[in-house]
Amino acid sequence: MFSSFIFSAGAISAIFQALPATTLAFPTTNTDSISNSKSPSSKEVPDYLNVTSTSTSTTLLEARMKTSHMITDIDCDNTGNGNSRWGYAESRKVWDGIHHLRGVKGKPANGIGPDNCGRVSCSWKAAIYWCNDNPKAENQLDSYADIAWAAEQIDDKCSYAGTQKNTGTPDMVNNKGALVKGAVHMKGLWSVIVRNDDC
């Protein structure tokens, strides 16, 4: 009923040579409208991986994503005059929260802002909040990983190391590593705050 086929290397080569070239071609972008197009070198991305879209909705979505993740300000809450808004959290505990948020499923949403904040992670007095700063609309992010990324930016720019007893100042850490607090504000009208809090 079933028959098996055994092909030699020469037979397979003959089959491929007999097929029209378009049968084996990968989809490519239309290069008629691209001036000065060139063949990609071995280090460049092949044409079939360069996906271009003329869809307005895709273009708007890509623009929103790029704008949403543009940092407008990082505030480390270190005015130097003693009027701090937040207490310091241990950086390594904040990183526990960052790793946790990267694995959370779903899309975080917050009601109309500004400063409509919700705590999305808190352990060992290290809290991460995300806020909708848009005064006209609710805000939804693509994933909790967006919040994790923003918290990482705060840790990168606002952490302080020290070696003495914890008194809440950056140079007094009690040998537990760096302390961090701060907020990052995005052009997409959302922000993330890292701070000390009761969990």
pLDDT digits (tens, 9 = 90+) for 53-63: 344 444 544 54
Q: Please tell me the distance from the alpha carbon of residue 49 to that of residue 9, in angstroms, as a whole number.
A: 30
Residue 2 domain-assigned (yes or no): no
Residues 6+ away with beta carbon under 8 Å from 125: 89, 90, 93, 196, 197, 198, 199
176, two tokens? 């537990």
What was the pLDDT predicted at 68?
62
- The confidence band for 83, taking pLDDT boundaries of 50, 70 and 90, is low
Strand partners, 126: 123, 196
Q: Is residue 112 part of a domain?
A: yes
Domains: count for the chain: 1
Domain extent at residue 134: 71-196
**Could you tell me if residue 45 is inside a domain?**
no
> Does position 99 have pLDDT exceeding 60, yes or no?
yes
Residue 175 lies in a domain: yes
Q: What percent of the chain has pLDDT over 70?
A: 55
Residue 164 has pLDDT above 70, yes or no: no
**Does 25 reside within a domain?**
no
Q: Would residue 121 count as lying in a domain?
A: yes
Residue 21 forms part of a structural domain? no
Tell the residue number behind the tokens 């691209």, with chain if given: 34
Residue 11 lies in a domain: no
